[in-house]
Amino acid sequence: MTKTKTIFVCSSCGYESSKWLGKCPACNEWNSFYEEKEQNINARDIGKKERVKPKSLNIIESKEDVRIDTGYGELNRVLGGGLVKGSLVLVGGEPGIGKSTLILQLCNKISNKGKVLYVSGEESDKQVKLRADRLNINSENIMFLGETDIDRIDDEIMEMIPELVVIDSIQTMYSNEITSAPGTVSQVREITARIMRTCKEKGITTIIIGHVTKDGNIAGPRVLEHMVDTVLYIEGERYFSYRIVRTVKNRFGSTNEVGMFEMKNEGMCEVTNPSEMLISEGNEKYSGSAIVCTIEGTRPLLVEMQALTTMSVYGIPKRTSSGIDFNKLALIIAVLEKRASLPLGNQDVYLNVVSGMKIVEPAADLGIALVVASSFKNINIQKDIALIGEVGLTGEIRSVNLIDKRIKEIERLGLKKCIIPENNKKYLKEKHNLDIIGVKNINDALKAVGIK
């Protein structure tokens, strides 16, 4: 009997190795290798047709992409103006984040234009029907197929030629040509390649749903990103209702886009004016809170930042932060101690971005510094001031990008004042109708809000 050959594959990037490795040499992911049966290479060449001759780019006819309106402004935005006809879109996210819900809502909108084939390997027809009822969806054009065998799905697509195909989810589908279990790298790749072939040939728009876990252990969307045209990720915190749809890759538009949704009882609802919602609950009376202006994708967002400092009862003070990187908080506390002479060494410091948003951009630094100082000194920062600026290690306030866009948003929301880096103020391109204060260093900024 011949021995079956096995290989070890990285579930994060697809790197193959003959033995198990703790750390992937290609993508540096830890503990991502698992065993798979080696595939016969020829199996991958199935479907190859006659030889295609190269031709000059000049003689190839180009035509504008036909875009399908998704019926949701926020989705159109992340897709770069609508769903491109014939494109392959991957929608990733943690389990339970709302992928199936959002895509079913999208199916409903597209079903006005033609048949939609919704293939689910995760839920039964009754479960999907229950969700559809909940979302008030009763289109005749949405066809449900509870199938996981790619051959049969392929046949069905060929027969129906629908306007849109949805595969929910890629991890549950399998191909008989591959011996490893559903959800493994080789299965997931093979199935995506098969779907891609069929849909590109017939010009059918396709959406593939894929689960990603936080630690990226399950083989999934990461290894598919290079095969598809567009990759969207849905992000959000489990205990908050906001969901951000982010473009990770887009062959037909910018990748710097985000769409905002809110998960409600009646499904995913668009949030067209997020800033208004994010700062609406601010409490005027207490110190340690301020409005900062951050950029998500290309869109400015105003969010409330809060800090609380208390005398530490332990030898080592405690610092916690949510929504902001912990090391960033530590760095800014150090700058406040050294450059602004605030003795925070014996203080516990808690930092929070209200409403579960995560901010990674440096323009929020000034906000972090000022809310911590505000709580420590117990002096309020007025609620009609917005803060923008990166804090450097010498205490300087460094300039940030897209300043005019940010100020416009602050102005639109009716705030009266903003504190921005001096260097940004010098080079403002547009006229703004609010009080703009330029600051050079952290001490200037503390003075500007009345803390020093």
Q: Is residue 131 near ligand TYD by the rule CB under 6 A?
A: yes
195: left (phi over 0), alpha (psi -120 to 50) or beta: alpha
**Residue 96 in contact with ligand TYD, rule: CB under 6 A:** yes
Question: Quick one: what does residue 221 bind among ligand TYD, Mg ion, none, with the CB cut-off 5 to 8 Å set by partner type?
Answer: none
* Residue 98 site contact among ligand TYD, Mg ion, none (CB < 5 to 8 Å, cut-off depends on kind): ligand TYD
Residue 236, token pair as written in the block? 């959000």
Give me the residues paired with residue 435 across strands: 417
Q: Which partner from the list Mg ion, ligand TYD, none does 131 bind, CB cut-off 5 to 8 Å by kind?
A: ligand TYD
Number of C-beta neighbours around residue 446 at 10 A: 21
CB of 99 to ligand TYD, least distance (A): 3
Q: Which residues contact 293 (CB under 8 A, 6 or more apart)?
A: 300, 301, 302, 363, 386, 387, 388, 406, 409, 410, 418
Task: Select 234 or 340, whichever has its Cβ closest to ligand TYD.
Answer: 234
- Which C-beta is closer to ligand TYD: that of 265 or that of 280? 265
Under the criterion CB under 5 A, does residue 206 sit at the interface with Mg ion? no
**Distance separating alpha carbons of residues 435 and 204, to the nearest angstrom:** 53
x/- letters, 33..52, toward ligand TYD (CB under 6 A): --------------------
Looking at the Cβ atoms of 14 and 267, the one nearer to ligand TYD is 267
User: Per-residue contact track with Mg ion, 213 to 252, x per CB under 5 A?
Assistant: ----------------------------------------
Stretch that binds Mg ion, among 92-100, 154-162, 393-401, 406-414 (CB under 5 A): 92-100
- Please give the size of the binding site for ligand TYD, defined by CB under 6 A: 15
Report if residue 100 touches Mg ion, rule: CB under 5 A. Answer: yes
Helix (H, G, I), strand (E, B) or coil at 91: strand
Q: How far is CA 243 from the centre of its chain?
A: 9
Q: Does 275 bind Mg ion (CB under 5 A)?
A: no
What gap in Å lies between CA 337 and CA 332, rounded to an integer? 9
φ/ψ (deg, to 5) at 137: -105, 125
Query: Cα–Cα distances in Å, from 377 out to 267, 329, 344?
Result: 44, 18, 11
Q: Which of the stretches 63-71, 128-136, 223-231, 398-406 binds ligand TYD when contact is defined by CB under 6 A?
A: 128-136
When CB distances are held under 5 to 8 angstroms depending on the partner's kind, the choice from ligand TYD, Mg ion, none that residue 265 binds is ligand TYD
Name which position in 14, 80, 92, 93 contacts ligand TYD (CB under 6 A): 93
Under DSSP, the state recorded for 226 is: T
Query: Which residues, including other chains, have CB under 8 Å from residue 114's CB and lie 6 or more apart?
Result: 141, 162, 163, 164
Provide the binding-site residues for ligand TYD, judged by CB under 6 A: 93, 95-101, 131, 134-135, 263, 265-267
